[in-house]
Amino acid sequence: MDINWLGHSCFRIKGSQATIITDPFSPDLGYSLGKPAARIVTISHQHPGHSYGQGVGDEPKIIAGPGEYEISDVLIVGLATFHDQERGKKRGKNTVYLIEVDEVAICHLGDLGHVLVTEDVEELGNVDVLMVPVGGVSTINAQMAAEVVRQLEPKIVIPMHYKTEALKRELEPVDRFLKEMGVKEVTSRPKLAITKSTLPLSTQVVLLDY
């Protein structure tokens, strides 16, 4: 499968059976979404920077909350979490998605606002690819993101939701997360192409171009 980062928390996951778009954003965020085609769209919470379903072509099936879903041989489990450390009192709820594509388990944390509880870690189980917000302000920060990585022990970590030149919102840059992870040098790439057999043995951080 191929994974492209379209900016913010939005990825295009292209598997053998279907294409999934996560957290599509509205144009005023600063990034250019275009109008990518997809069979499935996942939305972590109802904020314009994460729920712009009309920006995706091909009339996709939109998933916007906890539950179990199976579409085009893609199994998706949505877990209820919170957008802050006060059980949603400040920013409301958030859905974490576990997406199984071509026998690879991808976890998209959305705008997670807290480290995971034990029950969430157990329910998510084996995570191969983790898409984690690292920019703080309205989500977990670099230090908490590194803690979530330690909780889930994925094979590949893709940071998202951080400050870039395109973004019109104030978030922390990705450098702080890389430092927390002990990563000194990492070169961003246009896309990540992986299969179950090519997953690394130990956790690797992958930076993607938007």
CATH of the domain at 118: 3.60.15.10
Q: d(Cα 163, Cα 185) in Å, to the nearest integer?
A: 18
Per-residue pLDDT band for 197 (boundaries 50, 70, 90) equals very high
Reply yes or no on whether the pLDDT at 66 is more than 80: yes
Cα distances from 145 to residues 63, 86, 93, 125, in angstroms, run 24, 17, 18, 18
**If you average pLDDT over every residue of the chain, what do you get?**
95
What is the distance between the terminal CA atoms of the chain, rounded to a whole angstrom? 18
Q: How confident is the model at residue 184 (pLDDT cuts 50, 70, 90)?
A: confident
Residue 15 lies in a domain: yes
Q: Write down the pLDDT at residue 89.
A: 73
- pLDDT bin (cut points 50, 70, 90) of residue 47 is confident
In a domain, 70, yes or no: yes
Whether residue 210 lies inside any domain: the answer is: no
Q: Which residues are paired to 41 by β-bridges?
A: 21, 62
How confident is the model over 68-83, as a mean pLDDT?
95
- Strands in 192-193's sheet, in edge-to-edge order, are 61-63, 40-42, 19-22, 10-14, 2-7, 192-193
Is 194 within the bounds of a domain? yes
Q: What is the largest CA-CA distance in the chain?
A: 42
Q: Reply yes or no on whether the pLDDT at 83 is more than 90.
A: no
Handedness of CA 132, 138, 142, 145 (dihedral sign): negative
Q: How many domains does the chain have?
A: 1
Structure tokens at 6: 């379209």
In a domain, 101, yes or no: yes
Assigned domain for 177 exists: yes
Six token digits for residue 15: 């598997």
SS3 62: strand
The answer to whether position 112 is within a domain reads yes
Contact 133, 140 (CB under 8 A): yes
Q: Is residue 110 part of a domain?
A: yes
Domain ranges, residue 102: 2-205
Cα–Cα dist 150/205, whole Å: 13
Q: How many helices and strands, by DSSP H and E, does the chain display?
A: 3, 13
Residue 177's identity, in one-letter code, is F
